[in-house]
Amino acid sequence: MSEGVSIPGPDGLLRCPWGLSAEDYVAYHDEEWGKPVHGDDALFERLCLEAFQSGLSWITILRRREGFRKAFADFRIAEVARFTDTDRERLLADEGIIRNRAKIDATIANGQLLAGWATGELEDLIWSHAPNPTSRPAPRTIADVPAITDESVALSKALKKRGVRFVGPTTAYALMQACGLVNDHLHDCAMR
C-alpha cells in the first residue's frame, strides 16, 4: 500500500490515512472535518482551536477540546469578550487547555473585537473566501493536499486587516478544511 492514500478502517470503509491514525480522529474525520460550519460562535471556536494548534499536533487540541470549551465559555463571542485579567490568569493555570499566553491573549482579544461585529459578519467574511469547489481536483494522496492556498492567504490578510490575531495563511487553510470551505478528503475516502 502506498503511503498517503486512503486506507480501510475496521468497518471496511476507505478513509484518509490521518483519520485512522488515532482512535480520537475517527469520529472527527467522519462526522466533522470538511463539513460546512456556519454561525459566528461556531466559526470563532474553530478559528481559536486552529490558532491554539499552531506548532502542535491537532490530536493534542482535539483531546483537550472539551477543556477549551469549558474554559472559553463554549466560545460564545459575547462571553469571551467580557473576559478580564482574572479570567486570563485562570486560563494560564488551566491544565485542561494549552496554556500559551500569546494564544490565550489572542483568543480574548479576538472575542472582544468580534463582539463589535454585526451578527453574521464573521461568517460572511470567512465564507466569502471559499474557492469554487471545481477549481481543483480531489486530492489522490496526502501529498496533493496543500498547506496554504491563494484563498487562505487572502482570508488571512482579510482577517488581519480587520484586527483578528493569530491567523496566518496556514491556520486560515486549516480553518477552511475544518469548516468545509474546501473538501480535502481524498478522492476515494468514504467521507468525501
28 annotated active-site: yes
Which residue type sits at 99?
A: R
Helix residue ranges per DSSP H, 56-141: 58-63, 65-71, 77-80, 85-93, 101-114, 121-127
Of the residues 28, 32, 79, 117, which is catalytic? 28
Question: What does the block give as the cell for 23?
Answer: 482512535
Buried b or exposed e, range 62-85, using 16+ CB within 10 angstroms: bebbeebbebbbebbbeebbebee
58 annotated active-site: yes
Of the residues 25, 33, 45, 50, which is catalytic? 50
3 annotated active-site: no
Of the residues 25, 33, 45, 58, which is catalytic? 58
Catalytic residues: 28, 50, 58
